[in-house]
Structure 1
Amino acid sequence: MGRLEIVALGTSCQVPTRERNHVATLVRLGATSILVDCGEGTQRQMLKAGVASSRIAALCLTHEHGDHTYGVPGFLNRRRVDGALNPLPVIAPQAALERLDLLTSFATRGENPLHSWVPASSAGLVEVMRLDTWSVWTAPLRHGVPTVGYRFVEDDGRRVVPELAAERGISGPDIGRIQRGEVIRGVRLADVSVPRRGQRIAVIMDTAVCEGALALAEGCDLLVAEATYLESEAGLAEENGHLTAGQAAALAVQAGVRRLVLTHFSSRYEDLDEHAKEAGDIHPDVVVVRDLQTVAVPSRLI
């Protein structure tokens, strides 16, 4: 199945700091990796994290602002250097794609572009792409320019129950074979397993509290959410279309999120202990993530 986790390639927002790069989040979905946002310096952060640009299956951009997009040209050209041949799907609001045309006009292999634009819907929670056993969904958020968040949903499957398998004489390598669809001595996967709901991961960047954020986060095992401000500056957060750490945690509780990862911190905060306390007082599982940190998606059996 592979690892289900996120890697925080950058955790700052408009202004980077010595410790925090412009925002970018790698989402590992087993064998499939997706990059959400690509601020300036992301290419170097990927090198530090050991992430090959040629292994990225899609680039998901939340909106057009530079701290989320100025790393895109370098990233696309790095894929060319790394030998990637197929155009990379780039999902983003239509307004962002129009602006990115200028930034990426030179990112080509001869006359062949290294990317293909995929407009994100602004009509609510909508599936926009399939990647292996995962679907990619977007929903509009509330910010100063057209903005979307992302939700990654694994296909439902089945979990082998060891006791049921043992009753049918299935053990060892036969379990793997039956999971791959083989029929062994008349025993099928359905005979020794129970349904398992696919896992869900969401990434919500620049937004004020809104219905789209809740729809994306609903029932997620892991939510990556911006926490640009603290509650003491809630007015400023609303004015600029951002979340506080407390608002992100309240959203996670309302949506039934199992693990909350906070990122996209204003450079005004040198210490993030207050973010951890503010969110931790509301949600039981909060990670205030630092650059290059990996956070696992909580596993579950049902």
Structure 2
Amino acid sequence: MIPDFEVTILGNTSSIPVHGRHHTAQVVRFGQDFLLLDCGEGMQLQARAYKVKVSKINTIFISHLHGDHYYGLIGLLSSYSLGKRTTPLTIFGPKGLDEIITTNFRYSNTKLPYPLEFVETDNKGMNLLLQTPRYDVFSFPLKHRLPTTGFLIKEKHGLRSMIKEKLQENKVPLEAIQSLRQGIDYTDAKGKSYKVKAFTHPLPPLRSYAYCSDTIYNPELKQYIQHADLLYHESTFMEDNVERAATTYHSTAKQAAEIAKLSNVKKLLLGHFSSRYTELNPLLQEAKSVFPNSILSEEGQTYVV
């Protein structure tokens, strides 16, 4: 059975929450696992509005220490405490995040009833952060005003699906089935061979999701996000503000599309919009002129990877 792999946008604005848009936060669901990517202010209210169960989140990834990407974190952790959470929680984030959180809790005399682990991210090269049986999570460097990382979630193959008719016809022993499901040919004691290709269905294509929060236009990203099924890339400005984008280490919608095209991704999801834009369709049209399979991220919407 192929597990669900989808992204729900809770916030897609930059700097100031305006025009009904909120600070960056999104939840990735892979099967029964829920991962939170960034945690801007208002994340909990957004999650309630769109019926996202934050209690199921066991792993949080913070891209960098600009407030619009993590100011909702202390409130979320405090709500977990008030809710008597006991399930362990792991936070991956840049140096200093653990100090910010623990200092706040020390002065507020907050004692968490659940285990909380901080793992410091490195914004040099590609790094494996989390391994599970069905997917891995990597960090990779983004170019911004502070140390910043993007995140790549890559699916791994599970056990292979057997061709039932072939099993019945050949009376395949249990030991062979166990081996074949793992993708390993099997030969029994009498020398009879059972080939994976003959007894299992072809594996489905592996899926991946790349998340680029805040970054200046950077063609080097292609080495980390090549062929991603879905790419979320910040598109703070339009091309008439390309100099402003460079000065603030952000990207335009057109530049995001150029990265998508250069990286041969399947679909581009635009986000992190400047408060100067009430209407977002011009950003979409700018991106689509370079990369036709571009869409605007919409708060409350879930996108299948």
Structure-2 separation of matches of 1:158 and 1:196: 11
The answer to whether 1:293 aligns with 2:294 is: no
Q: CA deviation at 1:87?
A: 3.1
The answer for the alignment partner of 2:255 in structure 1 is 247
Aligned counterpart, 2:172:
none
Return the alpha-carbon distance in structure 1 between the equivalents of residues 59 and 220 of structure 2. Answer: 22
Check conservation: 2:268, 2:295, Cα contact below 8 A.
Answer: yes
Q: Partner of 1:174 in structure 2? A: none
SS of 1:235's equivalent in the other structure is: helix
Residue 127, structure 1, aligned to residue 135, structure 2: no
CA displacement at 1:99 relative to structure 2: 3.5
Residue 51 to residue 132, structure 1, CA distance change in 2 (3 Å): farther
Structure 2 CA distance for partners of 1:288 and 1:106, relative to 1, 3 Å: farther
Is the Cα–Cα contact under 8 Å of residues 219 and 262 in structure 2 kept in the other structure? no
The one-letter amino acid paired with 2:17 is P
Query: Please, which of 270, 280, 284 is the counterpart of residue 288 of structure 2?
Result: 280
Matches within 5 A, 1:36-185: 36-105=37-106, 110=111, 114-157=115-158, 160=161, 166=165
Task: Tell me the equivalent position of 1:12.
Answer: 13
Closer, same or farther: CA 84–134 of 1 in aligned 2, 3 Å: farther
Of 194, 212, 235, 1:204 maps to 212
Which residue in 1 is equivalent to 2:173?
Answer: none
Deviation per CA, 1:109-162, whole angstroms, max 9, x where unpaired? Answer: 74656521111122301101124421110011111111100000111346658x
Which of 230, 235, 239 lines up with 1:231 in the alignment?
Answer: 239
Q: Is the 8 A contact 1:125 1:215 kept in 2?
A: no
Q: Would the alpha carbon gap of residues 289 and 226 (structure 1) be closer, same or farther in structure 2, given more than 3 Å must change? A: same
Alpha-carbon offset, residue 46 of structure 1: 0.8
From the superposition, tell whether residues 276 and 166 of structure 1 become closer, same or farther in structure 2 (CA, over 3 Å).
farther
C-alpha change, 1:187 and 1:108, in structure 2 (3 Å) is farther
TM-superposed CA distance for 1:197, in Å, is: 4.2
For 1:16, give the aligned amino acid. P
Report the CA distance shift for 1:144/1:103 in structure 2 as closer, same or farther (over 3 A). Answer: farther
Matched residues in 2 for 1:74 and 1:80: separation?
10
User: Which entry has the higher C-alpha Rg, 1 or 2?
Assistant: 2
SS in 1 for 2:202: strand
Quick check: 1:227–1:264 contact (8 Å CA) kept in 2?
yes
Q: Distance in 2 between matches of 1:41 and 1:195?
A: 40
Letter in 1 for 2:65: E
User: For residues 50 and 16 of structure 1, do their structure 2 counterparts lie closer, same or farther at Cα, with a shift above 3 Å needed?
Assistant: same
CA shift for structure 1 position 292: 1.0
* CA distance in structure 2 between the partners assigned to 1:180 and 1:107 by the alignment: 52
Matched with 1:173 is: none
Instruction: Give me the whole-angstrom Cα distance separating, in 1, the residues matched to 2:18 and 2:115.
Output: 31
* Partner SS state of residue 193, structure 1: coil
Q: 1:157 to 1:101 in 2, by over 3 A?
A: same
**Aligned 8 A contact 2:284 2:294 in 1:** yes
